[in-house]
Amino acid sequence: MPYSIALAGKGGTGKTTLAGMLIRYLVENNKIPILAVDADCNANLNEVLGLKIGDTLGNAREDMKKGDVPSGMTKDIFMEMKLEQAVVEADGFDLIVMGQPEGAGCYCAANTLLTQFLERLQDNYPYIVMDNEAGMEHISRLTTKNVDTLLIVSDPSRRGLQAAVRIDELARCLNIGVGKSYVVINMAKESPSEKAMEMINAANLELIGTIPEDDIIYAFDFEGRPTFDIPEDCKSLQAAFEIFDKIVAI
């Protein structure tokens, strides 16, 4: 069975950037191949990784619904072909993107397709990194389930920490098979305040580390450069790698 790590958190906390750092960490430590999963309908993990998306699981399902199945091919075989085409191959890892749902406000079929496809793929990879959409919908729809480590990413704000606590509470309530949950405070200007630690401790959560605010990350993002390629001496990358040392056996 693969070792799976899922990232969650309020929007704008930098979890997709952190997912890219985690994938880089695994590659550099030869923990390959890795299956990177972008389970956010607003897909941008590929931009962090510097990859172009050829297709998505959502598009594959739409093609089948529209009747674009070639003559003489069953729907099952067509879907298998389309899903395989949706896998983007890179050096040390592959990326699969869920993409947009089939209708306004409806994600059920896209999530089901993603779950089924992951079940077929997972035994080919020792590590899976899943970047989820903001908030808690991915948990309530059970996209994030049976993961070894759930990294809940927060910024230093009270609302960010409140969202982190609620995500952990929901994961426990639904009993979705999370091995261990941790909180990461990203974009920190200083050490966590006493009030922040009170919130974390009151929720019986474990703060695994903080990642400092970093102008290099902002520069790469604004210029459209993949943050996967930030310099090794980048302070945020170094802090992230220290966190990953704690959750991944080298």
Helices 15-28 and 235-247 meet at what angle, rounded to 10? 70
Structurally, the chain folds into a number of domains equal to 1
Residue 157 is predicted with a pLDDT of 94
Cα 196 from Cα 27, distance rounded (Å):
33
The larger pLDDT score, comparing residue 41 to residue 149, is at: 149
Residue 149 is predicted with a pLDDT of 92
Residue 140 is predicted with a pLDDT of 45
* 108, pLDDT greater than 70: no
CATH number at residue 74: 3.40.50.300
Residue type, 245: D
Looking up tokens 């170094």 gives 238
* 160, pLDDT greater than 60: yes
Q: Which of 135, 77, 80, 147 is nearest to 113 (CA)?
A: 80
Kindly report the pTM of this predicted structure.
Answer: 0.87
* 161, pLDDT greater than 50: yes
Cα 5 from Cα 21, distance rounded (Å):
13
State the DSSP H helix or E strand holding residue 18, giving kind and residue range, or none if neither.
helix 15-28
Structural contact between residues 34 and 125, judged by C-beta atoms closer than 8 angstroms? yes
Cα 189 from Cα 184, distance rounded (Å):
14
Mean pLDDT of all residues in 71-96: 83
Mean pLDDT of all residues in 176-199: 92
Q: Whole domain around residue 218: which residue ranges?
A: 3-247
Non-local (6+) Cβ contacts of 69 within 8 A are 63, 75, 78
Cα 18 from Cα 151, distance rounded (Å):
10
Residue 241 is predicted with a pLDDT of 98
What confidence tier does 142 reach under pLDDT thresholds 50, 70, 90? Answer: very low
What confidence tier does 178 reach under pLDDT thresholds 50, 70, 90? Answer: confident
Mean pLDDT of all residues in 169-175: 80
Average pLDDT of the chain to the nearest whole number: 85
Residue 25 is predicted with a pLDDT of 98
* 135, pLDDT greater than 60: no
Which tens digit of pLDDT belongs to each residue from 188-232? 999 999 999 999 999 999 999 999 999 999 999 999 999 999 999
Residue 183 is predicted with a pLDDT of 97
Residue 105 is predicted with a pLDDT of 47
* 2, pLDDT greater than 90: no
The sign of the torsion formed by the CA atoms of 1, 124, 14, 245 equals positive
What confidence tier does 145 reach under pLDDT thresholds 50, 70, 90? Answer: low
